[in-house]
A and B are shown apart, each in its own frame.
Chain A
Amino acid sequence: MKKKTAGRIAGIAAVAGTGATLLSELGTVPPWLGIAVVVVTFPLFLLFLGLWWMARETDADIPFLGY
């Protein structure tokens, strides 16, 4: 997966999770919906955050093939 894709998914998940929590705090959406969105987005956020920061930006090293 490209670094950019992983970063975007993590970002969207973080925005959706915090957004839903904020909206349920303001009373726009019912509390259970806010929690349900967090339950779905929190794992996505964690995993794609990891995939984003581990993703390589440059080419991999050329393995040492021996003399």
Chain B
Amino acid sequence: MIGDLLYLIFAMIFGLLLLGIHRKVIARIQRRPGPPVWQEILHALKFSFKSTWIPQTASDTLFVSVVLIAIGIWTAAFFVVLAGGNLLIIFGIYMLHKIVEHGFGLSSGSPYGKFGGVRSVISAASEIPLFVSVAAVVIFTGSLEIGDIVAWQEQAGPLILAVFPAALAMYVVILSKFPFSPFSIVESKEIVSGYKTEHFGVWRAGLEACNGLKTYVLLLTFIAVFFGPLPFLLILLAMILITVSISFICAFSPMLSPFDSVTIQTLFTGLMLIYVVYLGVYG
């Protein structure tokens, strides 16, 4: 159990390292030297040493507690995945991350933060394909518990072979949560840093910690649900490979406008719905 606590801290740092690798790969593809891979870890540390206060216009309780909630929900998600708990809880937490982003943006009173927050909520269309991919997983494994899904794969082989479109849908969902992705309209540069704009110093360090943990948990869930039981080092390797594949997509595609981003995600949803209805009827 104490091991779990250490694993939690490791997950946070490794998640930040993945984000650093992500930046490095994008930079190399674009023929820039790019920051060192541990830059995101340094970033989080740097922010935590900066002088910190609460903006005068902010709703102070919300401004601070939303950072606590952000780290708290992903800590909870981490333990749920570790215990092989319910997949719905993970996705519930994923959707609640939207509310947290909304809270980050709105609580400061800054218009840039607010636009970021509102964009985060309007892109809620991207979450629905995720639920559809859950439906596809349930049709095959008959359970929503991650533990059962992993056990099922031990018998029948990786789920990614059985329900490839569902894996693709969840991949898109993970992609939308990565920085610099075509769907990351919540922090695009025309609104400064979007919902993060007004959270500086220690608050931002907390947000970075949450991002590291979030990246790790989402990739861990993806690997557990679609690749089944793997040894620990292989999981880490798979995480790096998935991150690099996402970096390639991010490096080659421009950021979409909010309208286009939501439209494309909704199209994905439509395709996934057709696929699941097909599975349900003929599968």
Contacts and interface: CB of A to CB of B under 8 A. Distances in A.
B1 A21 contact: yes
B72 A43 contact: yes
B48 A21 contact: no
A12 interface: no
Q: Is the interface of B mostly helix, strand, loop or mixed?
A: helix
Secondary structure call for the A interface: helix
Contact of A25 (B1, B64, B75): B1
Interface residues of A, number: 23
A50 B206 contact: yes
Nearest to B70: A43
A47 interface: yes
B201 A54 contact: yes
A39 B76 contact: yes
Contact of A56 (B8, B51, B69, B206): B51
A46 B209 contact: yes
Given A47-B67, A50-B205, A17 B5 contact: yes
B278 interface: no
B71 A43 contact: yes
Interface in B66-120: 67-72, 75-76, 79, 83
B4 interface: yes
Interface residues of B, number: 28
Given A42-B72, A43-B71, A22 B1 contact: yes
A42 B2 contact: no
Contacts of B4: 21
B202 interface: yes
Nearest to A49: B48
A43 B206 contact: yes
B2 A35 contact: no
B52 interface: yes
A43 to B, nearest CB: 4
Contact of B5 (A18, A31, A44): A18
B189 interface: no
A54 B2 contact: no
Interface string A1-45: 000000000000000011001101100000100110011101110
A25 B209 contact: no
Contacts of B206: 43, 46-47, 50
B202 A54 contact: yes
A44 B50 CA distance: 18
B49 interface: yes
A42 B71 contact: yes
A55 to B, nearest CB: 9
Interface of B: 1-2, 4-5, 8, 47-52, 64, 67-72, 75-76, 79, 83, 201-203, 205-206, 209
Interface of A: 17-18, 21-22, 24-25, 31, 34-35, 38-40, 42-44, 46-47, 49-51, 53-54, 56
5 contacts: A24-B1, A35-B83, A43-B206, A53-B49, A54-B201
Task: State the 5 A-B residue pairs at the shortest beta-carbon distance, nearest first.
Answer: A43-B71, A50-B202, A50-B48, A25-B1, A43-B68
Given A21-B1, A34-B1, 14 more contacts: A18-B2, A21-B2, A21-B4, A39-B75, A42-B75, A43-B67, A43-B75, A44-B68, A47-B68, A50-B49, A50-B206, A51-B52, A51-B202, A54-B202
